[in-house]
Each structure stands twice: as C-alpha cells, then as structure tokens.
Amino acid sequence: MEFIATRKETQVLNPAKDLALRSIPSEIRVDPLTGRTARICHFMKLEWQKPDFEQMVAGTEKTCPFCPDKVLKITPLFPKEILPEGRLIDEDRILFPNIAPYDTLGAVATMGGRHYIPMTEFSSDRIGRSFNLAFDFFRRVEAVDHPEAVYHLINWNYMPPAGSSLIHPHLQVFSTASSPNLMRQELDAAKVYMDANQSNYWEDLVAHEKADGGRYLGAIGRTHWMSAYAPMGVAGDVLALVSGVRSTLELTDEDIRDLADGLTRLMTGYDRMGIYSFNMNFFTGARSDDAARFHLLFSPRTFFNQALGATDVGALRNLFNETICMAFPEEIKTMLAPDFGLK
C-alpha cells in the first residue's frame, strides 16, 4: 500500500508586491487502491458565509411533494409483487418509488415530516431510523429474490449545492446488480490487492491510518472514521469504514447507530466552516465478496464563488474526473478532531 504524492510549485510575479517572486504550492495525490488522482491546490481558508436560510426556504413547502399534506396523495406505489402495501411507513418517514429512478429498483425515503432541518439539527435517531426504513426495503427485495438485489445503496444529497432539487430531507435508495463506476473500481482493485497480498485492503488501510494518525479521527464501535487521503470534495471527504462487514445488510442495528452518530459529528464540524450541504454515499460489496468492506463517504459541498453561485464542480472534475481539494486532508482532520473527542 503506497501513499504517493507529487509536490509541485508554480512561480508568479506578484504585482501587489513590486513584482516580487511568489511561489504557489500544489500536490497531486494518488489513491492507494484505485490509482485515481486528486489535486490539493487553490489553498484558501476553509470558511464560507452561510446564506439567508429563511429566504432560501420561504414558500418551498407549498409545492413540496414530501410534506405530510401531500406525500400520501401524490407519490407513487410499488407493484404488489415487490411491496404488497405499496409504500413503507415508519411514523412520519415514508419510502416510495422514485419517479426519476437511477435503476430498476429505485426509491425515495423521506426523513420525516419536517420540511427544513438545518444541518446541525439532525439527530442520530432521525438518521438511524431513516436508514432502517431503507434497510427494510432492501430486505423486502431480497425476500422476493429480485435479480437486482445485489448491491444495496443509499445516497444523500443534502440541500441544493449537493444536487438536491428539494429542501425537504430525503434519501435516494436503490438496489442494483450494476455497481456504480467508483464502487466497481474499488471492488475490482480490492480483489487484486487481496490476491497479491493475502490480506484485505480496507482492514490494512484502517491499521495504517490508525498507526499514522495524520488522518485518523477515531472509532465509534467498529466503525473507523478518517479524512480521505485523495479526496473528491473541495473541503475534503471523510471515510467511515465498518470493520468486518462486507455488505450493507451485514450491518447491525448498533452499526447503524454508530454511523448516524458519526455523521452528526461531521455535520457539526463542517458547519463551523460555514458549509451547509453535503453528499453521502454507501459503498458496499456483494454478500460473498471477502475483499470488500462496507464504507460510506461524506463529502461536503459548497461554492468557488457563492455570490455568483459558482459550483464547486468545474471542467477539471466534470470532464477529466480529476478532483480538487483546497486544503490538505491532514489539516481537515485537525479541524474535525474536536467533534471526535480528539485534541
């Protein structure tokens, strides 16, 4: 396992200082598993101005399909052979078919009846129960032996900068036999690593990061939290890996509570930076894949220029799939450390 980084330097003449020579550092990091590269550059203080949330949210509940007065009237139902009751309901959390599905078995799960929840007001109980509703769906599709019940995934796009078209908190839930690009690359590379090293890449990664300490945030139960070495987000990514778990449905209730707990800590930490939006994805193996380990990625989303609405995804990321992070992951770990009980 290699942690490769190529340091680079740009030199410019600074007109603000009588054309004095200025050196600007950057770094290209290589993901130890897939070989994917990430650029650490555009260094700036990780501090953003939050918008006027009252103005952003005002009136959006009037047309929101997920609010309690509409959700059971206008959302679709699953066919009886998949889900006899059509929808899954747990108090004010409701799961129903996605009318813009990513795959054959696509669902949306609302996270309750409250239309807008600030990032720091999500409780671990709300997140955990929302995950459990999705897990109920996963078990149902496995019970009917559906051919797509191979990889069980949850995506969470929180607030518009993360790609959410609705303010109302909800999860994208789907089961698929077709693994998404990055997940497939990880699964393939982890098998190659296991064949070559006779050990599990993910367990080796945890051992390395724990010993190194530079990016490791800590463990909650058997879930290990660390700042990603080659992040995809401009403010870094956090990886949460559940030791010994290959696939989504191997997670226990305690694992789900631990994941929810860690997510609330990340929300608190990134809120201090002025970030109010994020993506979160599950990454999973199939049940029999011993090279895989279940993990999730939490990736904060923001703007390069908030006043202009300039997204944090430009041509480099969108067309080259080359990611940019504006601080070293080790520095980001230090900023998040207090939320995990580290000094």
pLDDT tens for each residue of 85-98: 999 999 999 999 99
Cα gap 148→185, rounded to integer Å? 19
Q: Are 28 and 38 in contact (CB under 8 A)?
A: yes
DSSP tag of 200: -
- Indicate whether 75 pLDDT > 60: yes
Q: How many CA atoms lie within 13 A of 260 on its CB side?
A: 20
Confidence of residue 341 (pLDDT cuts 50, 70, 90): confident
Strand partners, 89: 94
Q: What is the pLDDT of residue 146?
A: 96
Tell me the pLDDT tens digit for each residue of 298-313.
999 998 887 788 889 9
Q: What is the pLDDT of residue 145?
A: 95
**Alpha helices (H) in the chain, listed in sequence order:** 53-57, 71-74, 124-143, 181-197, 201-212, 253-271, 315-320, 329-336
- The stretch 15-25 carries a mean pLDDT of 93
pTM (predicted TM-score): 0.96
Confidence of residue 343 (pLDDT cuts 50, 70, 90): low
Q: What is the pLDDT of residue 180?
A: 97
In this structure, the dihedral spanned by the alpha carbons of residues 97, 99, 103 and 108, taken in order and rounded to 10 degrees, is -40
Q: What is the pLDDT of residue 42?
A: 78
Tokens for 175, please give them: 């089961």
Cα gap 311→303, rounded to integer Å? 5
Q: What is the pLDDT of residue 110?
A: 98
Question: Which residue in 169, 66, 179, 86 sits closest to 126, CA to CA?
Answer: 169
Tokens 């997920």 — which residue? 66
Distance spanning both ends of the chain, measured CA to CA:
28
Q: Which residues contact 154 (CB under 8 A, 6 or more apart)?
A: 131, 134, 171, 172, 173, 280, 281, 282
Q: Which amino acid, 247?
A: S
Tokens for 44, please give them: 């700036």
- The stretch 267-272 carries a mean pLDDT of 97
Tell me the pLDDT tens digit for each residue of 179-213.
999 999 999 999 999 999 999 999 999 999 999 99
Tell me the pLDDT tens digit for each residue of 208-237.
999 999 999 999 999 999 999 999 999 999
- The stretch 148-176 carries a mean pLDDT of 97
Question: Which residue in 109, 126, 161 sits closest to 264, CA to CA?
Answer: 126
How far CA 171 is from CA of 44, 151, 160, 250, 301, in Å, comes to 32, 16, 14, 20, 16
Cα gap 273→199, rounded to integer Å? 38
Cα gap 5→89, rounded to integer Å? 48
Q: What is the pLDDT of residue 320?
A: 94
State the average pLDDT for the chain: 96
Share of the chain above pLDDT 90, in %: 93
